[in-house]
Every structure is written in structure tokens, then in C-alpha cells.
């Protein structure tokens, strides 16, 4: 988009133009340093570079044009909000800004200082007028995945129209009954907001679209198991982040195009790094865009990230939704079943996640695991102890890191990562 058109669009959304311009400059510089400086990147990453260059431009215009046509834009911060239901009412699902250290001072006037960076970030983006996606939304859907979010949405709903799903924290029969009722309640809410009825045909179409996107991401993950790695962990993370913003059909097509190129690389033995580069699996908290700090630290220290056990990674794409049902209720049952299989750290007990981390480390031939946790994220910081024990039993080295979105601790992180890589090399 032309700059003048973008400025007018941002003004119409009520953004703070001066602060927003400053944010885009900082992110542009960071993107050049973290992504565009990489050597031997796949050529078809160009599409994803373009998406980032227009992530507050053309994509936002597409959302506003869709609203003009009567479609609804639904924003969220979590995997537990089923995109399939949004598509079933001809809506558009988008992830909201929550991955940068912005508006913190303003956010801390409403939230405790010892709140995790992700929650402070989405408050900061809203209060500071910096996220066009939040402003373009007709509705934000929250979820009770942790105590911090659960209470934060009580305040956030005063800033933006917000609907909250209750996510159970066990996987019992009673929990499934609760979760199935929440899926039905959300379906009714989306019908109300959109003025459209969810039919078996529309819901099946939504399931097929999202399953196709997950299959493309599964294909990418399978290719990353090759040695040498055909794509960097930074680029793979970027792709996983973009899936929450881009049109799902277009994204799926472009990702398959990239995977075609990666397949040729694998056949030719071409990697982004030499075959003897230490291979690392990253596990833990989700990394919302533009949270690129830790992958950059790890890979600039001499390793390659080959997988992410994360909501912005394999945890979010592992399972598909069955489309075998013939009625809306049967398809809603299938949705509830698939989404309750996600092994977020909020669940107790959570043996599936421990098993998946070990299985992933072996499948991706990772020499070690870096467990990433945002400061004050109780579920993941608590579960890190169990992760460590499980990996120790499997003979897999683990490095536990706790950080936030600021850049102040980068030197300390580099020192710890470099020491860990020395252990892996030995």
C-alpha cells in the first residue's frame, strides 16, 4: 500500500500515528537484522517477507474491506479459539498483537507489574493505540487458560468488546462435557454476532480449510527433521506466526510452494547450516509475533532450531479435526475432541506434553532442548521441573530460560546458550 493510504487507514482506526510509525521503524530494523541477514535462505521465503512488510498494511485493508461486505472479524490470543467456527459464519479469524514490549508503563497502571509479558503486551498495544488488528475486530474472544488471562479479560472487556470461553484444566469426562458446552456456546455467540447460521456444510468447509492449513504446517515440520536443516528455526517460527494473520487458503498455498523448494533442498543435501551444527528443540511458552529474541540468540550462537513444542509450533498443528460427522452437533463434538487434545501447561496432570517433548526431540534428532518461559508464567515455569525430569530420564540435555520481551537480558541469554551448546558439542 502507498504510505498515504496506510496512514489514512491507521488514522481511521484511531491509532497513535506517531507512536505507530516509531514501532514500525523499530520492527523493520529488527527484521532486517534477525531475518534478512540470514545466509542461504529459501527463495520462497520472499512471500513471508512480503507479508511482514505489509502486516499492518494490505492485510488490515483486506479485513476492513471484508467488514464493508458484511463479514465479521474475530480476534483472539490463543489456540483454544476454534478458527473453524469463525469460518463457518463466513468470518475472519486473526491473532492480535501480543509479542512486543510496548505500552508497558500504561499497562502497569491497570495490571500488576508481575504480570507476564504477553498479557501486558496486548494491554499495551490497545492502550497505546498500536494494533490495527485489535481496532479492526468486531469481537475479541478470550479464554481462561491461566489465572492471569482470566482476570485480565475482566479489565480488557472495558476497552474492547470481549467474549470469554471457559477452558477446563483437566481432561476428565466432566471436563469434556464442560468444554463441549463451551464450544456450543461460542457457536451460538458467533451466530449472534454475524447474523449467520452455522450449518453442517459451512462448518465442514471451515474444518477442511483449517485442516488443510495444519497439513501444510505438518509437512513443513516433517521436512525440518532432515539433516542438514533445510530452513532456519527463525524462518519456521515466522511462518507459524504468520498463520494467525494471513488468509488461510492463500497461506496454505504459499506454504506448500515453500515446502516444494525445501523438498528439493533435502534431496540435494542443501541446508541453511552445516550438518554438524547442534540441533535444538525449543519448548514452552508461545512466541507471539514479533517475539523473535530467543530464536535469534540461539541461532546466532551457532545452533539451529529444528522444532518448536509450542502453541506457535507443533502443539498447535499436531491434530486434525474429524469431518466425518453429518450434523452440526456431530461436527461440534469433533471440534471439542480435537481442541481438548492440545497439551497446554494449564492442564493437570499433563503427561501428554512430557511425552511429546521427548518424542519430538528424538524425531527431530535434537541434541538438546531449550525450555522457554515468560517471566511470571506460572503454568510453564512450574511444569519446567517435570519437563527436566522427563528429559533427564531420556538422556536429553535441557536448558531452562526465563525471560520477557525486553532486550536487556540478551547478553546473559547469549552466555547461557553458548555454554549449553558447548555441552551439546561435547
CATH of the domain at 152: 3.40.50.11890
**Of 148, 170, 192, which one is at a domain's C-terminal end?**
170
- In this structure, the answer to whether residues 19 and 150 fall within a common structural domain is yes
- In this structure, the answer to whether residues 50 and 155 fall within a common structural domain is yes
- Residue 25 included in any domain: yes
- Residue 134 included in any domain: yes
What integer pLDDT is reported at residue 61 of this predicted model? 97
The C-alpha atoms of residue 389 and residue 366 are separated, in whole angstroms, by 17
**Of 119, 146, 170, which one is at a domain's C-terminal end?**
170
- In this structure, the answer to whether residues 146 and 290 fall within a common structural domain is no
Q: Which domain holds residue 243?
A: 205-319+345-425
Cis upstream peptide for 349 (omega within 30°): yes
HSE-up of residue 121 (Cα within 13 Å, Cβ side): 20
For Cα atoms 71, 198, 240, give the angle at the middle one, nearest 5 degrees.
Answer: 65
| The three grid cell numbers given for residue 172, joined into one nine-digit string | 476428565
Task: Residue 39: count other Cβ atoms within 10 Å of its Cβ.
Answer: 7
Which of 365, 373, 392 has the alpha carbon at shortest distance from 278?
365
- In this structure, the answer to whether residues 128 and 242 fall within a common structural domain is no
- In this structure, the answer to whether residues 276 and 209 fall within a common structural domain is yes
What are the C-alpha distances in Å from 220 to residues 229, 232, 239, 271? 11, 12, 10, 14
Number of domains observed in the structure of the chain: 2
The C-alpha atoms of residue 149 and residue 160 are separated, in whole angstroms, by 15
pTM of whole model > 0.85? Answer: yes
Contact 198, 88 (CB under 8 A): yes
Which of 106, 41, 85, 59 has the alpha carbon at shortest distance from 189?
85
What integer pLDDT is reported at residue 1 of this predicted model? 86
- In this structure, the answer to whether residues 231 and 373 fall within a common structural domain is yes
- In this structure, the answer to whether residues 284 and 161 fall within a common structural domain is no
- Residue 325 included in any domain: no
Long-range own/partner contacts, residues 56-59 (CB < 8 A, 24 or more apart): 56/6, 56/10, 56/20, 56/24, 56/132, 57/1, 57/6, 57/9, 58/1, 59/245, 59/246
What integer pLDDT is reported at residue 419 of this predicted model? 98
- Residue 334 included in any domain: no
HSE-up of residue 129 (Cα within 13 Å, Cβ side): 12
101 alpha-carbon distance from chain centroid: 17
What integer pLDDT is reported at residue 49 of this predicted model? 97
| The three grid cell numbers given for residue 138, joined into one nine-digit string | 468486531
The C-alpha atoms of residue 72 and residue 87 are separated, in whole angstroms, by 10
Q: What residue spans of 274-377 are helical by DSSP H?
A: 293-300, 314-317, 328-339, 351-363
CATH of the domain at 268: 3.40.50.11900
What integer pLDDT is reported at residue 124 of this predicted model? 96
What is the chain's pLDDT, residue by residue, as a tens digit (426 residues)?
888 999 999 999 999 999 999 999 999 999 999 999 999 999 999 999 999 999 999 999 999 999 999 999 999 999 999 999 999 999 999 999 999 999 989 999 999 999 999 999 999 999 999 999 999 999 999 999 999 999 999 999 999 999 999 999 999 999 999 999 999 999 999 999 999 999 999 999 999 999 999 999 999 999 999 999 999 999 999 999 999 999 999 999 999 999 999 999 999 999 999 999 999 999 999 999 999 999 999 999 999 999 999 999 999 999 999 999 999 999 999 999 999 999 999 999 999 999 999 999 999 999 999 999 999 999 999 999 999 999 999 999 999 999 999 999 999 999 999 999 999 998
Amino acid at each position: 500500500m502507498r504510505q498515504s493510504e496506510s496512514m489514512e487507514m491507521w488514522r481511521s482506526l484511531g491509532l497513535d500515528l506517531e507512536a505507530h510509525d516509531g514501532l514500525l521503524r523499530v520492527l523493520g530494523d529488527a527484521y532486517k537484522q534477525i531475518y534478512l541477514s540470514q545466509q542461504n535462505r529459501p527463495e520462497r521465503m520472499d512471500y513471508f517477507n512480503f507479508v511482514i512488510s505489509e502486516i499492518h498494511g494490505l492485510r488490515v485493508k483486506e479485513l476492513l474491506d471484508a467488514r464493508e461486505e458484511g463479514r465479521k472479524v474475530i480476534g483472539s490470543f490463543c489456540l483454544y479459539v476454534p478458527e473453524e467456527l469463525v469460518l463457518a459464519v463466513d468470518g475472519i479469524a486473526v491473532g492480535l498483537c501480543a509479542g512486543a514490549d510496548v505500552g508497558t508503563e500504561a499497562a502497569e497502571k491497570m495490571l500488576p507489574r508481575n504480570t507476564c509479558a504477553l498479557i501486558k503486551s496486548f494491554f499495551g498495544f490497545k492502550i497505546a493505540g498500536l494494533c490495527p488488528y485489535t481496532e479492526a475486530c468486531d469481537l475479541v474472544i478470550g479464554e481462561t487458560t491461566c489465572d492471569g488471562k482470566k482476570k485480565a479479560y475482566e479489565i480488557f472487556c472495558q476497552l474492547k468488546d470481549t467474549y470469554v470461553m471457559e477452558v477446563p484444566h483437566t481432561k476428565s469426562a466432566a471436563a469434556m462435557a464442560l468444554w463441549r458446552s463451551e464450544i456450543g456456546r461460542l457457536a451460538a455467540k458467533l451466530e449472534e454476532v454475524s447474523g449467520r447460521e452455522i450449518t453442517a456444510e459451512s462448518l465442514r468447509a471451515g474444518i477442511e480449510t483449517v485442516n488443510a492449513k495444519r497439513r501444510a504446517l505438518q509437512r513443513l515440520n516433517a521436512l525440518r527433521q532432515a539433516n542438514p536443516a533445510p530452513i532456519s528455526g527463525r524462518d519456521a517460527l515466522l511462518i507459524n506466526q504468520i498463520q494467525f494473520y494471513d488468509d488461510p487458503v492463500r497461506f496454505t498455498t504459499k506454504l506448500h510452494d515453500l515446502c516444494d523448494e525445501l523438498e528439493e533442498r533435502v534431496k540435494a543435501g542443501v541446508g541453511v547450516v552445516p550438518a554438524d551444527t547442534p540441533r535444538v528443540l525449543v519448548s514452552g511458552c508461545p512466541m507471539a509475533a514479533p517475539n523473535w529474541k530467543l530464536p535469534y540468540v540461539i541461532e546466532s550462537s551457532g545452533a539451529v532450531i529444528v522444532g518448536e513444542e509450542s502453541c506457535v509450533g507443533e502443539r498447535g498443528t499436531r491434530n486434525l479435526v474429524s469431518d466425518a460427522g453429518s450434523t452440526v452437533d456431530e461436527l461440534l463434538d469433533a471440534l471439542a475432541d480435537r481442541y481438548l487434545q492440545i497439551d497446554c501447561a494449564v492442564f493437570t496432570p499433563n503427561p501428554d506434553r512430557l511425552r511429546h517433548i521427548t518424542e519430538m526431540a528424538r524425531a527431530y534428532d535434537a541434541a538438546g532442548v531449550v525450555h522457554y518461559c515468560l517471566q511470571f508464567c506460572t503454568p510453564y515455569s512450574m511444569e519446567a521441573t517435570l519437563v527436566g525430569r522427563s528429559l533427564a530420564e531420556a538422556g536429553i540435555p535441557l536448558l531452562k530460560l526465563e525471560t520477557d520481551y525486553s532486550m536487556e537480558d540478551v547478553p546473559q541469554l547469549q552466555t547461557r546458550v553458548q555454554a549449553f551448546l558447548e555441552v551439546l558439542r561435547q
